[in-house]
Structures are given as C-alpha cells and as structure tokens.
Structure 1
C-alpha cells in the first residue's frame, strides 16, 4: 500500500526524502519508552506528510497505550487520525475521505485497545508477582514463628526437667547431710545423686544444642517411667513426703506429667520437708489435677526464676485447659500452696 502511495506522489528527490524521513521515524521509535507521548506526537506530524512514516506513528501509539494512561493514548490516536486527514488533503487521489477516516480511526482504536490490554496484563502480572512474594514472605515468617514457638516449648520443657532434677539432687544431698556418717545407704544415695546429675546434664546439653543449631529434640526421661506414677516414685525415693491419690491413669500424658512435675518441684524448692498431696481424677472429658502443700513464711532453699508456673499455664492453655495456683489461708498462721489444673484428655 505504501508503494502504491509513493507511486502517486512526485518522484525524484521528493521520494528519496519521504523514504529518508520514514527511516528517521523508525530510529525515533528507540525513544518510545523513554518519552512515549512526545514520540507519538512527533511521528503523527511526520506521518501527515510522509507516507513511509505512517507505520512508525502507530508503533509509537501502541507504546503510549501500553505504558501511559488511556486519556494520553486517545490524544495521540486523535493526532494520528488528524495526520491521516492532512495526508488526504495533500494527496486526495489516494482514496475517498470516508475510507481514509474510517481506516485511520479503526487502526488507531485497535492499537489503543491492544496496548491498553497489554498494560492491564502487565499490571496483573505485577500484582500476582507481588502477591506471590508476599505469600512467600508470610510463609517464611510463619515457619519462623512456628520454629520459635517450638523452641520456646522445648526450652520450657527443659526448664521444668532441669529444675526437677536439681531439686531432687538437693533433696538427696540434704538427706545425706542430715544423716552424716550414720547413713546406711550412703553409697546408694550417692549413686542416685550421680545418676540424677547426669540426667540433668543431658537435659542441659539438649538445650544448648537446640539453641546453637536449632535442633529440636524432645527429651526423654530414661531413669524413670515418664508417667505421673513414675514421677511420684522417683520423688519418694529421693525422700519427698507425698500422699498421692491417682484415680486416673495418665498413660504417659505429657501435660499431666508436667503439671505434677512442676507441683512437686515447687514443693521441694519452697517447702522442703513438707507433706505434698497429689490428687488426679477425671471430670467429664478432662483430668483434674490438684497438688497442695503447707508453706511457711521462709525463703526458698533453692533459687527460682518464677517462670515455671507461668510457662505451665501457657502450656496448658495451648491445649484448651487451664492451670492456676493460689495460697490458701488455713488459719492459725498456716497457709497452703495449691496448684490446680484442668487438662483435656486426648
């Protein structure tokens, strides 16, 4: 079509000029993404006088529609249609006016629609990429939070276990100190202290390994059965006075075990030598645990951080239970510390 148009125009140097302008217009397209509107308007003017520039101006229009607002694209499209009218005024023999207007308008609208569609697709791709990146960041953050929560849980377990072992060691050592040279089972007690200390060191080693490389390992009590009954037997062997009423077998329930462990450890730390009462029973679909012991207005023999009971309450709350502690006034200047928990049964 361009060839036919050129055939109807003056030849010689004018035809060479037309082709030269068309070549320059193609080179101007290199700036269509840096300054698309200006490039489109300049090429619309060039297309109004030179036939070979009549392709480059629509390429520039597509760049405007693809990267700028639709209003700016319509302005450039109107300039291209106006340029087509100017070209018809210069060379009316090419075609009739109505066909010129119809063809140029249809091409301009099609190019604008195509470019706007491309821009919309680019925006959607950018939104999807941003959403995917955000989802990935949220997934990584959620995984990190889960890992941190798991580490905190394991650290809380280690705190309970280590405090349990250390209080047992103190109880055994206190028995040896009271008995002195008259103790009949000094060797057995010393061996028990050694075994308990080794268990405490194993627990500490597990904690350090977890904090160092993030390895999460659930500790296992290898010396005694990991049950409430085994826990009470171990405490009794160490010399702690315990009256237990176990109306419900725990079958290794970790949460019931931790409640009783914390109660016995607190009694050894804050009320050494006191009689501890442990009662475990079922109520509906939950286990009710009550641990109580008399207390006096004396400082604890063993130091404590106060985090054990708070950590226990958080642990039980995660499974839908509740753990509470209180000091009950028994009158005559006597008080009782009571730890109670309701643990849902699995």
Structure 2
C-alpha cells in the first residue's frame, strides 16, 4: 500500500490555523503586546520550511509572554526535522524551556521551590518531545533514501549479472556458429564450386552456382552475426545493412525460384514492369542508393515488407519445390498491401529442419507496426501470404 502524504502547503495552513486557535484560547484582546507577538508567531509558521531557525526565534517572545506555545513547539519540531546540528537543537530546546518558565514582563523563577523544579522538568520534557520527534522523522527520511539507493544498487547489480550471463551465452553461441555452422556452410560452398566446375550439365551447373552464391551470402551474414554476438551487449550494431524496398528486386532475383515482382507505385531502384530472365525470374536495374519506397514509406515499414517477402520466398523454396512465385506490393491510400503467391509444387518437398517461428515472427513484427499477416492455401493448390501495414509507423 502506498501512503498518501498531505501536501506541504495544506499542512502549513493547518498548523497556522491551529496556532491561531491556540492564540484565541490563551490570549485576550486586552493585552495588545502579547496578542501581537502571538499572532506574529502563528503567521510565521507559513515560512517554517524555508527558514526554520528564524521562524523559531520569532516564536520565542510569544512563548515568553503568554501561554500560546503551540507555534513555538511546531517551529522547534520543524527545525529538528530539517537540521543536523545537534548542538543548535539542544540550545533551542533550552531557550524554549527558559522562555516558557519565565513570565514576562515580571519574571518569577525561584529554583528553590519544589514546584518550580517540577515545572522545569515538565517544560524541558515538553521542549525535548518535538526535538526527538523531528530527529526521528529526519532519520526515517534518511533511511528511506538509503533503502531506495540500496534497491537501485541491487537492481543495477542484477542487471550487470544478467548482462554478464548474456555475454557468456553470446560468446558461446558465437563460437558454435563460427566453429560449426560456418565450417559446414563453407564446405557446402566448396562442394558446390567443385560441382559447378566439374559438371557438363547446364542445369546442374546453374544449380551449383546458385548454391555456391547463397552459401557465400550466408557466410557473410554469419560473419556479421558472429561479430555482433562477440560485442557482448556493447553498442547496438546491425547484423547487416538494413534493407529497403530498393532491395526487393535483388531479393526476388536471388531467391533461387522463378519469381516475379510487381510494385504499384514503383519503389526507387526497381523496374515498373517485370522482365523475365533466365530461369523465369524477373530482373530490374538493381537497387538504388535511396531508402524511400512508394510515396516515402518509413524505413521500419520497408524493412517489414522486405523481411516478409524474404520469409515467404524461403518457405516456397523449402516447401514447394518447382513452384513459381508472384510478389505484389501495392499502396492503397494509407495502407500498404503485400501478397506473395506461389503455384502448386511439382516435386515432393524434402524434409528440412524448421523451428516453425517464421510466420510467428512476421505476425509479431506486423502487430508492432499496427498491421496484420495472414496466410493460407489457394484454390489451385498453391499458397498465399498477405501482409497489410499502415503507410506510417504508428509505434
């Protein structure tokens, strides 16, 4: 449960009102000198937090002249809760006791009487009470600040521990990727290169060339990834230069399947009309040096479109051998629609390892940008993936 603290201005106003009631009960209008000092003491409580010592000194004449001592007690408590000078607090408590014991303008202080000593002890205890209470409040405030610092330090230590564990895991993962995955992909590239040189079949040579090119590209991406993992939580670095719509044509051309790209309107760096190349792929003039897509789409939307098309084409290559694909990117008002449709496969799919996280990741990425991803089979036995995103990043 969280404690609800009274606002300081309201508390000051309440103390002033109580002090005025104390004056009204203990001081009469027939005594203008005492009344003036008592009213000045009560009014000074409004400044008790800003200048606690002067306010306390202002209340002492009122304590010495009459029985309206509430303002003096409140000022002494405030001084004790804000000051760390113990000697000053003792002197102020003694001054309050002395002023409360004497009775101006005709002081009567006879220490030989037992009643006077009893009254002195009672008055000293009365003066000590707000001092002890103020010191207790100050200690509690310091303790709360110390506990907050300890909690913050503990959270920071926990964060450092977590980062250390993550750094070790990243370093281990980087070693595994470098020693195992990169080695195996390198062997694939070497064997594909040997096959490309040694075969006389044009189709086999073309397939071997594609395998070798994709292997080299994968190795390059793995090197970037290993470098990021070995950074172990340092400054943020991208795995690869982040793609834009200008890279879509190159992605389609390098997909390894017959694929055609249609864009409306045409993003920078792509051809407005697909031109079939050898193997059935559509080719364009290549990526441009800009990052603006259709009508200036933000980079986050462009990356989401690129990754969606990349995942869809990868799934076609893995699960629909022999199929062709059509990629359409179209902007309709404030919405960008992307569809990747493939025909029915002509060969049985090979059993390949898969974590089944691709579509889940695409949906999560689209939801972060305020869009949707859905997919399903088509009437002719193919498959279609659909992406809809707002044309502006609303995150």
TM-score band by shorter chain is 0.5 to 0.7
CA contact (8 A) 1:232 1:242 kept: no
TM-fit CA distance, 1:180: 5.2
TM-fit CA distance, 1:192: 5.8
204 and 339 in structure 1: CA distance in 2 versus 1, 3 angstrom threshold: same
Measure the CA separation in 1 of the matches of 2:321 and 2:349: 11
TM-fit CA distance, 1:270: 0.9
Which stretch of the first structure deviates more once superposed, 336-345 or 113-122?
336-345
TM-fit CA distance, 1:293: 1.5
Residues 1:289 and 2:338 are matched in the alignment: yes
Partner of 2:264: 247
Measure the CA separation in 2 of the matches of 1:322 and 1:280: 15
Q: Count the aligned residue pairs.
A: 229
Measure the CA separation in 1 of the matches of 2:137 and 2:254: 77
Q: Which residues of structure 2 form unaligned runs of 5+?
A: 1-80, 82-109, 268-291, 294-298
TM-fit CA distance, 1:195: 4.4
Q: RMSD between aligned alpha carbons? A: 4.3
Residues 1:219 and 2:239 are matched in the alignment: yes
Partner of 2:309: 260
SS at match of 1:343: strand
Residues 1:342 and 2:388 are matched in the alignment: yes
Residues 1:201 and 2:247 are matched in the alignment: no
SS at match of 1:323: strand
319 and 280 in structure 1: CA distance in 2 versus 1, 3 angstrom threshold: same
Which has the higher Rg, Structure 1 or Structure 2?
1
Aligned counterpart in structure 1 of residue 247 of structure 2, from 227, 230, 233: 230
Measure the CA separation in 2 of the matches of 1:329 and 1:209: 42
Q: After superposition, where does 1:1-346 map in structure 2 within 5 Å?
A: 94-135=111-152, 181-183=200-202, 186=205, 193-212=211-230, 213-215=232-234, 216-220=236-240, 226-228=243-245, 230-237=247-254, 239-248=256-265, 249=267, 251=293, 253-295=302-344, 298-300=348-350, 302-324=352-374, 326-330=375-379, 334-344=380-390, 345-346=392-393
192 and 292 in structure 1: CA distance in 2 versus 1, 3 angstrom threshold: closer
Measure the CA separation in 1 of the matches of 2:138 and 2:252: 71
The structure showing larger relative contact order (alpha-carbon pairs under 8 Å, at least 6 residues apart) is: 1
SS at match of 1:304: coil
TM-fit CA distance, 1:182: 3.0
SS at match of 1:219: coil
TM-fit CA distance, 1:267: 0.9
SS at match of 1:206: helix
300 and 138 in structure 1: CA distance in 2 versus 1, 3 angstrom threshold: farther
CA contact (8 A) 2:316 2:342 kept: yes
135 and 300 in structure 1: CA distance in 2 versus 1, 3 angstrom threshold: farther
CA contact (8 A) 2:210 2:256 kept: no
TM-fit CA distance, 1:273: 2.1
SS at match of 1:305: coil
TM-fit CA distance, 1:209: 3.6
Q: Which residues of structure 1 form unaligned runs of 5+?
A: 1-65, 67-92
TM-fit CA distance, 1:122: 1.1
